[in-house]
Amino acid sequence: MKINIYYGARGNADDPTLAVITKMQSVLEELNVSVERFNLYEIKNAIATLPQTLKSVDGIILASTVEWYGIGGFMHSFLDACWLYGDKNKISEIYMLPVVMSTTYGEREGKVTLETAWEYLGGKPCDGLCGYVKESEEILKNREYEQIIEKKAENLYRTINQKMAVFSASNQVIKQKVARFKAEDLTPQETERLSQYAADESYVRTQKEDILELTNRFKNMLDLDNKDEQQEFISDFKNHFHPQAGVSATYRMIVHDKPCTIWISVNGSQLECVMDDNRTGADVEINLSKDILNEVILGRMTFQRAFMAGDMKMKGDFKLLRMLDQLFVFMDHAL
């Protein structure tokens, strides 16, 4: 089973929608679902090609945030692209769960907008999730909110797995009578944007990976001190350790593109921090890239913000993850 998440807000670190879809992604991955997230604000110039990514999915999550009025332009652009370029036969088989959180008002209207749009496209909307949250931390601290999010993700999994029937909507009949779209009426610019290379998801991903690889090579060439990066990580954690009374926890931090595994054990004022690929059974397991870890060590990012933004994955006790930012304070790097 494969589910895509299309996030249509601006990517602010304190966006409550990010906290919701990150939790949903974690639940679905624990159910052995293949999940891929598309942050529309990062690929706004290629939104017209995204309907191609619907061809291999069983379900999707459309997620946006109401900041002042409506679901925002990125999500509208994606839905427009689905109408103009999407495979309507394939869309008719896809279940869609809407997620709309609000920091002002209008979350229910936003949820209805996504459901109605997906019905017009011929797809199958599922019972979604909407709510008002002043700050994203409210979601992370409230166990009842977490249970609601987990339940919605599990219901989406069951709906797709059991291929549950969905009642037809009246707007489907209206669409069939009044909607007319001719695929051949494309401008040369639209045709170019939908060319084989622009629409080839694997090609775009390969280009991004090549750029990232070249960037990393140049960074390594400019590293004049020739120190062992792994030992630098260990030294940074030891030098910025701030003991917290009564805290006892173990962390297994996997830097997947290094690759290396950092084992951290804290018991009051005692700290053990070593490179160890063999130890398992930590209270919290973290998976992140070297660049994100460097951002944390340089004081530009915290572990909690990295998790909320989807740049880091974790399993275990979330309270202990928040404690990690108190045990290791790197903000003095940024001063």
Query: How many independent structural domains does the chain possess?
Result: 3
Q: Are residues 145 and 212 in the same domain?
A: no
Q: Are residues 133 and 155 in the same domain?
A: yes
Q: Are residues 7 and 128 in the same domain?
A: yes
Highest mean pLDDT among 198-202, 216-220, 240-244, 305-309: 240-244
Rounded to 5 degrees, what angle do the CA atoms 102, 106, 111 make? 85
The pLDDT, as a whole number, for residue 135 is 73
Q: Are residues 214 and 235 in the same domain?
A: no
Q: Are residues 14 and 151 in the same domain?
A: yes
Residue 225 pLDDT > 50: no
Q: pLDDT-based confidence at 226, cuts 50/70/90?
A: very low
In a domain, 276, yes or no: yes
Give the residue from 200, 221, 242 where a domain finishes. Answer: 221
Residue with tokens 């309270």: 319
**Spatial distance between the Cα atoms of 117 and 91, rounded to a whole number of angstroms:** 12
SS3 for 177? helix
| H helices, E strands: number in the chain | 14, 11
Q: Which amino acid is residue 182, in one-letter code?
A: K
In a domain, 90, yes or no: yes
Cα 236 from chain centre = 28
In a domain, 183, yes or no: no
Q: Are residues 254 and 166 in the same domain?
A: no
Give the residue from 198, 221, 244 where a domain finishes. Answer: 221
Residues 6 or more apart whose Cβ sits within 8 Å of residue 188: none
**Residues 6 and 298 sit within 8 Å (Cβ to Cβ):** no
CATH label of the domain that carries residue 236:
3.30.1050.10
The pLDDT, as a whole number, for residue 333 is 52
* Domain coverage including residue 306: 229-333
**Spatial distance between the Cα atoms of 107 and 243, rounded to a whole number of angstroms:** 42
The pLDDT, as a whole number, for residue 328 is 92
Q: Are residues 153 and 255 in the same domain?
A: no
Mean pLDDT of 198-211: 67
Residue 184 pLDDT > 80: no
This prediction's pTM: 0.54
